[in-house]
Amino acid sequence: MSLAFDEYGRPFIVIKDAESKKRVKGLEAQKANILAARTVARILRSSLGPKGMDKMLQSPDGDLTISNDGATILEQMEVENQIGKLLVELSRSQDHEIGDGTTGVVVLAGSLLEQAEVLLDRGMHPIRVAEGFEMAAKVAHETLDSISEKFDFSAENLEPLINTCMTTLSSKIVNRCKRDMAEYCVKAVMAVADLERKDVNLDLIKVEGKVGGSIEDTSLVYGIVVDKDMSHPQMPKVIEDAKIAILTCPFEPPKPKTKHKVDIDTVEKYEKLHETEQKYFADMIKQCKDSGANLIICQWGFDDEANHLLYKNELPAIRWVGGVEIELIAMATGGRIVPRFVELSEDKLGKAGKVKEVSFGTTKDNMIVIEDCANSKAVTILVRGGNRMILEETKRSLHDALCVARNLVKDNSIVYGGGSAEIACSLAVEAASDKVKGVEQYAMRAFAEALDAIPLALAENSGLAPIESLTAVKAQQVQEGNQRLGIDCKDEGTNDMKKQNVFETLIGKKQQMMLATQVVKMILKIDDVITPSGYA
Amino acid sequence: MENGAPNNLLNEQATEEKGEMARLSSFIGAMAIADLVKTTLGPKGMDKILQSQSRGQEVTVTNDGATILKSIYVDNPAAKVLVDISKVQDDQVGDGTTSVVVLAGELLREAEKLVNMRLHPQTIIQGYREAMNCALKALEDLSVNHVEDPEKYKEDMLKIARTTLSSKILTNDKEHFSQLAVDAVLRLKGSTNLDSIQMIKKTGGTLNESYLDEGFILDKKIGVGQPKRIENAKILVANTPMDTDKIKIYGARVKTKGMAEVGAIEQAEKDKMRKKVQKIIDHGINCFINRQLIYNFPEQLFTDAGVMAIEHADFDGIERLALVTGGEIVSTFNNPEDAKIGECKLIEEIMIGEDKLIRFSGVALGEACTIILRGASTHILDEAERSLHDALCVLSQMATDSRVVYGGGCSEMIMSKAIEDLAKKTPGKRSLAMESFAKALRQIPAIIAENGGLDSTELIAQLRAAHVNDGCREGIDILTGTVGDMTKCGINESFKVKKCVLSSATEATEMILRVDDIIKCAPRQREQ
């Protein structure tokens, strides 16, 4: 570590405990950072595209995840390096914003940094590189706008949407039943979508998983699913037009908070007590019955006597429903949570079209499904799978498909996939770079080159000769002026992505390029890394 | 940082295996698991002893793939995938848990050779997928459906049960047990819910003495001095405390001033109980079954009234009883006219070995039955239960898909032939993968023969030659050790099980093949 000395030869202390800290400066720092980022990108590179390979990740507890979803891999990898963490964040923000293209964004950032390194070696200043990249990104942005097309679908004709979701799902573990899954996703999105405002609230779609059964048993429920069963095994399993009393008080005689004692000293009192006790139960049931409820959902338990009385009075009941679920049910059904029996009245009841208990498979698993809730459009996709690993991966895949459907509802502009958009942008940036004076020209060319990394990786992962296929497609695009040409990953014999039905949303692609450029700029600007030495 | 990689990208204790290394480690792990269960495949498969880690070191002897894999602790990630598919197979169809692992292992073994020939894993996967579809089609063409013909349907079921059981401990008495399993499943009348078939294990006797009992058997005792046999029983199933009714009002306590009052209260308590018992008896019943304990006093009251009282039937038993007798579970007794009372023709106490059990026969719901397993030791009984459960699962699945295919390696040979024909027509490297798929399929009968101590190479060669002709139904008859016609040997298997084995194994293989990077995070630090 270099230290400055004053005129008496004493070291000048700028940073506290400078001796015990590791410090990397200048070009060296940039190179180290680029290297770290590239390492992360290299791991993900082979997972890009429909034929991308999977990664097997073992968590600290020994649980297994097999995935080719960029965000998931990075999240579970537990990256320790600071720059590596930046890329993890990058992929996560793409996931949150768009939900798809999480691998692509990291690969693009990695490739941009790789190009930047060459320029730095030539002695270009990092800031100039960053600026060149920025300019190039702007050009690419405009190109994307110009090549985008509108995607047609309507509430009646969902087929195109389903096809799109199927494309997303085909690279995932669920491809065996992608048709069903795609339908569920589209239906779920359409159920909660506000087509007027072009808005979809994904919070209303709950993806619930339960281990057991097979993926084919996955189902879409227009309502809420609660992992409970009816309190008495012989209560009706289906309730139509349910009026739900949502209670947070137990079916028990009251327990006053003040300390008290009831003294019994005669037989009469003893018998009276017994009567009162019975009356309590009868009253409680009567209050429920009088309010017009035909289903009781209770946060607490009830004892055998109350249970049987409820059954006798044809009041099906669900007990021990958790606080969060109680709230959810109350919100969805428009009911009020009632803390005392006396307060129970008809206007406080929640309403639902149908409540039923469904059982699954050979194992005795029951769940309560509340459908057609009065207030909310909430839907649940109930995912089933043989084990936790498959279940989690299915949930993630469904999330991706849901996001794709949502994005299309929000904005139906699309660009074609298979690397065609990247090739088109690369050509445009290349052309634009020639008109730029100054060193930025080099940076822009580097950007164009970096964009090629995506189709290259796609071709490589699909088992094609990467450089050959890329140059062929590029030449074809220039010759025919057709920006829909991309890499034929699925070996279908055509390079036209419109025919292959492979496309991505415009927002997704734009976001990908923007985010990648931003992160690269950020990394390039760092010229000093100080770490406490004991840490590394 | 000289070696080109930053040294602190991941935690120090984390490991990463890439590309070839990753593939190698998953191949090795998966094949190790497959080899482990390989020897248990087929009618002459060997058993494994599993000793549990926990206190008591219980021993399990089994050749059920799912049970073996469930009990061993694996660390290799790819091996875990195989353990998982065997579990899925168990959940879905209940049988073929070993086959699925062995087939996946063989597919991976073949894939390894292809990878070494520099074939891209994705190409292999594609070839495998096409081969699987082709095999499924061949299997479908081969399958026969006898659902319209009840006689033949039953015959099919018997054959399947026999085939399933022949690889288990019950193989000596397979005739007996297959009949037993088929009878039990036929009672279900198409439902796949095995709940109404109850299995009771009692040590003593031989496996041969196991039998199917129509009706419900409860492993409980009848109260002292009560009738041991009731015809046309009216049963009240209840869940109520029969000691003293607890006072549920919070804070209540009994405070007395003298002995006399204590006596009075006690009397009141007794009266209350007497009233309760009277109310119960007023339902017009002659059998009372309670989930909770019945104390001596009420029991005596029941005895006086000539009512059979059974205490402490657990929750499961109560629900099942309520289900089969058609009664309801009652907790209050004020309205005798409303309560639904269960009925059955006969309740009697029977002896199995040295234990007394209560049998409810002639119950309302005809689906219920009980299988009583007898055997020399608990290990044998446990294994017998597992085997029978497998058979019952397979048979009950017949209700949803009644197609059957031929066993003894016949269907494997036909599938592999169909795939090879397809491979010949397929241009490109995929055809290599298809050929490998066919080869892997042929390994299954080979392993079965090998486990039986037969010359597998010779037999497979003979079979292959025989299967050149279309419509050939030759397979290996393991008992005689020769190639024979499967239609005559009566070795059938359920189509659904075969299909599941095929698709799950291919899926698992695909899953493992697609991995090119294994990242193991640093193990969580546990405080000792």
Residues in CB range of B257: below 8 A, 6 or more apart: A265
One domain, residues B201 and B255 = no
Whether the CB-CB separation of A45 and A455 falls below 8 Å is answered with: no
Residue B2, domain member (yes or no): no
Task: Give yes or no for A59 touching B (CB within 8 A).
Answer: yes
Whether the CB-CB separation of B300 and B327 falls below 8 Å is answered with: no
> Dihedral, CA atoms, A85, A89, A91, A97, nearest 10 degrees?
180
Residue B512, domain member (yes or no): yes
Residue B329, domain member (yes or no): yes
Q: Tell me which residues of chain B, numbers 269 to 328, contact chain A at a CB-CB cutoff of 8 Å.
A: 269, 272, 319, 322, 328
Lowest average pLDDT, out of A188-192, B121-125, B353-357, goes to B353-357
What pLDDT digit, counting tens, does each position of A2-28 carry?
566 777 877 766 666 656 667 777 788
Per DSSP, B120 falls in state -
Identical fold for domains A24-150+416-532 and A224-376, yes or no, is no
Q: Which CATH class is domain A24-150+416-532?
A: mainly alpha
d(CA A178, CA A186): 12
Is the four-CA dihedral A279, A280, A285, A289 of positive or negative sign? positive
Per DSSP, B371 falls in state E
B5 pLDDT band (50/70/90 cuts)? very low
A103 is known as an active-site residue? yes
A536 pLDDT band (50/70/90 cuts)? very low
Higher pLDDT, A519 or B197: A519
Q: Considering only CB atoms, which chain A residues are within 8 Å of B254?
A: 263-265, 270
What pLDDT digit, counting tens, does each position of A426-451 carry?
999 999 999 988 888 999 999 999 99
Q: Tell me which residues of chain A, numbers 357 to 416, contact chain B at a CB-CB cutoff of 8 Å.
A: 361-364, 386-387, 389-390
Residue B274 belongs to domain with CATH number: 3.50.7.10
d(CA B352, CA B350): 7
pLDDT above 70 covers a percentage of chain B that reads 90
| Residue-range domain boundaries for chain A | 24-150+416-532, 224-376
Q: What is the model's pLDDT at position B418?
A: 92
One domain, residues B194 and B224 = no
Whether the CB-CB separation of A394 and A211 falls below 8 Å is answered with: no
Among B359, B384, B401, the domain-final residue is B401
Q: What is the model's pLDDT at position B107?
A: 93
Residue among B136, B183, B184, B166 nearest B489 (CA): B166
Higher pLDDT, B170 or A479: A479
Residue B396, domain member (yes or no): yes
Task: Give yes or no for A259 touching B (CB within 8 A).
Answer: yes
A347 is known as an active-site residue? no
Q: Which of B4, B7, B250 faces A255 most closely, judged by CB atoms?
A: B250
Question: What pTM was computed for the model?
Answer: 0.79
Residue B513 belongs to domain with CATH number: 1.10.560.10
- Is residue A121's pLDDT more than 80? yes
- Is residue B192's pLDDT more than 70? no
Among B381, B401, B421, the domain-final residue is B401
What pLDDT digit, counting tens, does each position of A248-287 carry?
887 777 777 777 777 777 777 777 877 887 788 788 888 8
Structure-block tokens of residue B500: 């599941």
Mean local confidence (pLDDT), A19-48: 82
Catalytic residue among A400, A452, A488, A496: A400
One domain, residues B229 and B356 = yes
One domain, residues B393 and B383 = yes
Residue among A515, A497, A473 nearest A414 (CA): A497
Three-class secondary structure of residue A224 per DSSP: strand
- Candidates B97, B236, B248: best to mutate against A (most CBs of A within 10 A) is B248
d(CA B260, CA A203): 68
Residue among B427, B414, B417 nearest B123 (CA): B427
Task: Give yes or no for A307 touching B (CB within 8 A).
Answer: yes
Lowest average pLDDT, out of A467-476, B71-80, B436-445, goes to B71-80
Q: Considering only CB atoms, which chain B residues are within 8 Å of A311?
A: 328
Higher pLDDT, B181 or A386: B181
One domain, residues B245 and B327 = yes
Structure-block tokens of residue B58: 């219980």
Residue B526, domain member (yes or no): no
Question: In angstroms, what separates the C-alpha of B419 from chain A's closest C-alpha?
Answer: 20
One domain, residues B348 and B207 = no
Q: What is the model's pLDDT at position B314?
A: 67
Q: DSSP characters for B308-366? A: EEE----HHHHHHHHHHHT--EES--S-TTTS--EEEEEEEEEEETTEEEEEEEEESST
Q: What is the model's pLDDT at position A21?
A: 67
Q: What is the model's pLDDT at position B1?
A: 39
Q: What is the model's pLDDT at position B283?
A: 77
Burial B500-517, CB ≥16 within 10 A → b, else e: bbbbbbbbbbbbbbbbbb
Q: How many domains would you assign to chain B?
A: 3
> Dihedral, CA atoms, B385, B452, B502, A390, nearest 10 degrees?
50
The residues pairing with B403 across neighbouring beta strands, listed in sequence order, are: B145
Task: Give yes or no for B267 touching A (CB within 8 A).
Answer: yes
Q: What is the model's pLDDT at position B200?
A: 81
- Is residue A240's pLDDT more than 80? yes
Residue B169, domain member (yes or no): yes
Query: If phi over 0 gives left and psi between -120 and 50 gives alpha, with beta otherwise, what is residue B195?
Result: alpha
One domain, residues B461 and B491 = yes
One domain, residues B228 and B360 = yes
Q: What is the model's pLDDT at position B3?
A: 40
One domain, residues B487 and B464 = yes
Chain A: residue whose CA lies nearest to B266: A267
Mean local confidence (pLDDT), B435-446: 91
Higher pLDDT, B272 or B498: B498
- Is residue B195's pLDDT more than 60? yes
Judged by CB atoms closer than 8 Å, whether chains meet at B516 and A53 is answered as yes
Start-to-end C-alpha separation, chain A: 17
Residue B393 belongs to domain with CATH number: 3.30.260.10
What pLDDT digit, counting tens, does each position of A77-90 carry?
888 888 888 888 88
Q: Tell me which residues of chain A, numbers 434 to 493, contact chain B at a CB-CB cutoff of 8 Å.
A: 461-463
Q: Considering only CB atoms, which chain A residues are within 8 Å of B123?
A: 463
Whether the CB-CB separation of A418 and A497 falls below 8 Å is answered with: yes
B103 pLDDT band (50/70/90 cuts)? very high
- Candidates B324, B331, B520, B526: best to mutate against A (most CBs of A within 10 A) is B331
Chain A: residue whose CA lies nearest to B396: A362
Q: What is the model's pLDDT at position A382?
A: 85
- Is residue A57's pLDDT more than 50? yes
A304 is known as an active-site residue? no
Lowest average pLDDT, out of A201-215, B240-254, B340-354, goes to B240-254
Let me know if B66 is exposed, middle or buried by CB neighbors in 10 A (0-12, 13-18, 19+).
buried
* B21-B25-B26 Cα angle (round to 5): 120
B245 is known as an active-site residue? no
CATH architecture of A224-376: 3-Layer(bba) Sandwich (3.50)
As for the ipTM of the complex, it is 0.72
Residue among B479, B488, B444 nearest B103 (CA): B444
**Best mean pLDDT range from A29-38, A231-240, B163-172, B194-203:** A29-38
What pLDDT digit, counting tens, does each position of B321-370 carry?
776 777 777 777 766 666 777 777 777 777 777 777 777 777 765 666 78
Alpha carbon of residue A52 to chain centroid: 20
Which domain covers residue B383, as residue numbers? 150-215+373-401
- Is residue A367's pLDDT more than 70? yes
Q: What is the model's pLDDT at position A364?
A: 57
Q: What is the model's pLDDT at position B269?
A: 78
- Is residue B516's pLDDT more than 60? yes
Q: What is the model's pLDDT at position B4?
A: 42
Q: What is the model's pLDDT at position B250?
A: 67
Q: What is the model's pLDDT at position A383?
A: 86
Judged by CB atoms closer than 8 Å, whether chains meet at A267 and B524 is answered as no
The mean pLDDT of chain A is: 82
What pLDDT digit, counting tens, does each position of A490-535 carry?
777 788 888 877 788 888 888 889 999 999 999 888 888 877 765 4
The mean pLDDT of chain B is: 80
One domain, residues B111 and B59 = yes
- Is residue B180's pLDDT more than 70? yes
